[in-house]
A = this chain, B = another copy of it.
Amino acid sequence: MNWPVLAVGAALLGRAAGGAEAGEVDLTIVNVVTPQDVKIWEPTSITAKKGDRVTLRLINKHADEHGYEIAAFGVKEVVAGDKTATVTFTADKAGVFPIKCQLHPAHVVGQLTVLE
Residues of A that sit less than 8 Å from B by CB: 15, 17-19, 21-22, 25-28, 30, 32-36, 38, 40, 42-49, 52, 61-62, 72, 93-98, 106, 108-111, 113, 115
Minimum C-beta distance from A10 to chain B (A): 14
How many copies of the chain does the oligomer comprise? 3
Q: Are A111 and B18 in contact (CB under 8 A)?
A: no
User: Which of B32, B43, B72, B93 is close to A36, meaning CB atoms less than 8 Å apart?
Assistant: B32
* Residue contacts A-B, CB under 8 angstroms, 5 given: A25-B111, A27-B98, A36-B61, A52-B96, A113-B113
Q: Which residues of B contact A27 (CB under 8 A)?
A: 98, 110-111
Q: Are B61 and A38 in contact (CB under 8 A)?
A: yes
Nearest residue in B to A100 (C-beta to C-beta)?
B28
Q: Are A93 and B45 in contact (CB under 8 A)?
A: no
Q: Are A32 and B38 in contact (CB under 8 A)?
A: yes
